[in-house]
């Protein structure tokens, strides 16, 4: 059923083995194990998805498409100055509650991804940014 979670038990009345001595069939109990999704994680009825963004996308802002569960793609607006780990919430785009059918939320967790290696030109640009806009994210922490 929609919204079922791992560990849930579904009872199928009368679908088990026949009772001893020709008695009525018992109930069949099925324990659910939901396979992991390739990019969604589930917390209760909420879904979480990691969305990689580049340094320039985090600094300048951008729009990226992310998948939803069964509703295609939605466009995410990444605001300028977004740090890695920021969460964007989409109400009602999660998993339906088994009892109420109210859907949880989808959270896009933005992950800043650096290039695996820097060529000389890109390194020079980063050095220029560091000199032009010095910022110490650890200032006043300890």
Model confidence pLDDT, tens digit, residues 39-70 = 999 999 999 999 999 999 999 999 999 999 88
List Cβ neighbours of 77 (8 Å cut-off, separation of 6 or more): 61, 63
Cα gap 1→41, rounded to integer Å: 18
Domains and CATH numbers, the chain: 1-35 (no CATH), 37-116 (2.60.260.20)
- pTM (predicted TM-score): 0.77
According to DSSP, the residues that pair with 51 across neighbouring strands are 110
Cα gap 61→59, rounded to integer Å: 6
């Amino acid at each position: 059923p929609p919204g079922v979670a791992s560990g849930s038990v579904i009872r199928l009345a009368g679908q088990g083995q026949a009772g001893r001595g020709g008695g009525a069939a018992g109930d069949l109990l099925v324990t659910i194990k939901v396979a992991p999704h390739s990019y969604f994680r589930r917390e209760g009825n909420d879904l979480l998805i990691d969305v990689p963004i580049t340094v320039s996308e985090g600094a300048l802002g951008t729009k990226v498409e992310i998948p939803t569960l069964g509703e295609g793609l939605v466009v995410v607006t990444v605001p300028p100055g977004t740090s890695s780990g920021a969460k964007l919430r989409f109400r009602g785009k999660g998993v339906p509650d088994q009892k109420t059918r109210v859907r949880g939320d989808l959270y896009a967790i933005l992950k800043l991804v650096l290039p695996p290696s820097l060529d000389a030109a890109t390194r020079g640009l980063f050095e220029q940014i560091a000199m032009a806009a010095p910022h110490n994210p650890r200032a006043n922490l300890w």
